[in-house]
Amino acid sequence: MGRRDIPIDVSATYDVAVIGGGASGLAAAFCAARAGARVAVLERDVFCGLPILATGNGRCNLSNTNLDPARYRHPDVARAVMGPDPEREVADLTDAWGIVTCSIDDRLYPFSRRAESVRDALLAACARQGVELCCGLDLVEASYERAAGGAEGQGAWNLVVEGPERPLRGKRGGDFHADLRARRRDLKQTPRVRHTVAARSVIIACGGSSLAMASCFGLPHIEERPVLCPVACSIDDRSRALAALDGLRVDARLTLLHDGIETWREAGEVLFRPYGVSGIVAFDLSRRALPGDEVVLDPFYTFSPEELDSLMSRRASALAPLTPGNPSWYDGFLARPLAELLTELGTTTIRLRVQGTADERVAQVRAGGIPFEAVDVPSLRISSSAAPYLFACGEALDMDADCGGFNLAWAWLSGKRAGESAAQAATRG
C-alpha cells in the first residue's frame, strides 16, 4: 500500500486539498472524504504516511488511554478540539481504519506493534474513501479567487504546486526502503514542472516546520523549536560531574523550578548523559525547562521523607554511619556512580541547572507554529478574512504534548476536526 502516485487532476476543483500527507493530513483527508468531499492530498515526499513509520521506535505509540488535556501545551484548546471523550474518538477512528489496538500501561499501540501496519491501514482507509494521494509535490504559491460578484462561498484556492514532470521510478521487487531511496533519488533528479490545483477548502497539515507554509498563506507564526529530546544541564560548580554517570539509568523524579518556584514534576526512568539527562521524563522536561531553570533529581522519591529518614538510620545502625567519600555505604541500594556523586555532594538529591535542549536530532516534535489566536477553535478554521476556507491541523499548529501517544492523538483528532470542518465549508458553503 501507499506506493500509488495518482497524478493530480488539474482540470478539477477539489472540495478539499490537504497540504501534507503525514498523520494529521491523512486523518483529515479520510474524515473530509467520509463527509462527502472530493479530496486530494498534496505531499512533498515520495509517499504519504512516512512520518508515522518512525514513531514509537517503529511500534507507533498511537494514543493514550488517558488523554488528559493538561499534557498539552494549550490544555483549553486541546479539550475543545479533542472533545469531552477523546479516547472514544480515537477508538472510533482506529476502528474505521481497521486498526486493532492494545495498551501497554497507559500507552496505546497497534496490536501488530508495527508502525507500518498503522500507516498501511490509514492509506487503505483513505483509498476506500476515494482520497487522491499526490506525492512529490511542493506548494509554492497560494491565492484565493473569490467568485464573481464577491460571493465568497463559491470561490476557490489556486494552489501552484511544483512536481516531477513524469511519474517517479522506484525499485520494483526490491524492499520498501530500496524503493523509497530510489524514488527519492529520482525525485531529486527529475526536472520539475508547475501545476495549478483548484480547491474550495485547503487544510495545512505540513507538520512541525510550518514557517514556509504560514508565509505562503500570510499567516502569523511562532518560531519553532525542537522538544521531546534530552536536556542539557549540569551541577553548579561541577560542570563535568555528570560525565561519570554517562549511560546510567535510574528511576527518579524530576522537579522543575522556575525562579525557585515548582512548576512541574514527573517520575520515571532517567538516563544520565555527560551533557545532562535523557529518557522519557527528560523528554517531557524539555518541553518546559528554560535556560537558567533548576531541576531537582530525586532517586528516593518513592519513599516519604519519614520513610527515607528511618531507612537511612536503620542502615547507619546496621552498617556504619554514612560518611563523606564512602560511596560503598550505598552498596545494595544505589548504583555505584550515583552513590559516588551523592556522597560527594552530601545530599540525597541532585540539583541541576538547565542550559537548554540537547541532541535535537532525536526530537520528536517541534513547539511553535501557527498560533491559536489566528484559528477558530474547535473548527480549526483560520479566522482571517484574507484567507477564507483555510484550515490547519497537527503539528503545524502551536501544539505539542508529552511523550506517551499524546502527539499522535492530537494529530488524529485535530485532523478529524479540520477535515470535517473543511468538507462542510466546501460542500455547504
DSSP assignment of 189-229 equals HS-EEEEEEEEEEEEE--TT--HHHHHHTT---EEEEEESS
Minimum CB distance to ligand FAD, residue 415 (Å): 7
Segment lying near ligand FAD (by CB under 6 A), choices 77-85, 168-176, 206-214, 318-326: 206-214
CA 195 to chain centre: 31
Segment lying near ligand FAD (by CB under 6 A), choices 168-176, 284-292, 350-358, 388-396: 388-396
61 binding ligand FAD? (CB under 6 A): yes
Give kind and range of the element (H or E) at residue 266.
strand 261-273
- Going from the C-alpha of 23 to that of each of 30, 88, 172, 178, the distances in angstroms are 11, 18, 26, 23
364 binding ligand FAD? (CB under 6 A): yes
> Which one of 16, 17, 18, 23 is in contact with ligand FAD (CB under 6 A)?
23
Minimum CB distance to ligand FAD, residue 212 (Å): 6
Give the Cβ contact number of residue 328 at 10 Å: 12
**How many of the chain's residues bind ligand FAD (CB under 6 A)?**
34
The site string for ligand FAD over 397-416 (x = CB under 6 A, - otherwise) reads --------xxxx--x-----
357 binding ligand FAD? (CB under 6 A): no
The residue (of 342 and 397) whose beta carbon lies closer to ligand FAD is 397
DSSP assignment of 71-134 equals GBSSHHHHHHHH-S-HHHHHHHHHHHHT--EEEETTEEEETT--HHHHHHHHHHHHHHTT-EEE
In this chain, which residue has its C-beta nearest to ligand FAD?
Answer: 22
Q: What are phi and psi of 260, to 5 degrees?
A: 80, -5
138 binding ligand FAD? (CB under 6 A): yes
Minimum CB distance to ligand FAD, residue 408 (Å): 3
Is the Cβ–Cβ distance between 332 and 267 less than 8 Å? no
Minimum CB distance to ligand FAD, residue 172 (Å): 23
Is residue 417 classed as helix, strand or coil in its secondary structure? helix
> Which one of 395, 398, 402, 420 is in contact with ligand FAD (CB under 6 A)?
395
Minimum CB distance to ligand FAD, residue 139 (Å): 5
Distance CA 365, CA 367 (A): 7
19 binding ligand FAD? (CB under 6 A): yes
> Which one of 34, 40, 55, 416 is in contact with ligand FAD (CB under 6 A)?
55
Cell of 321: 554511619
368 binding ligand FAD? (CB under 6 A): no
51 binding ligand FAD? (CB under 6 A): yes
User: What is the pairing mode between strands 63-64 and 107-110?
Assistant: antiparallel
User: What is the pairing mode between strands 261-273 and 350-357?
Assistant: unpaired
Which residues make up the interface to ligand FAD (CB under 6 A)?
19-25, 42-45, 50-51, 54-56, 60-61, 138-139, 205-207, 213, 364-365, 394-396, 405-408, 411
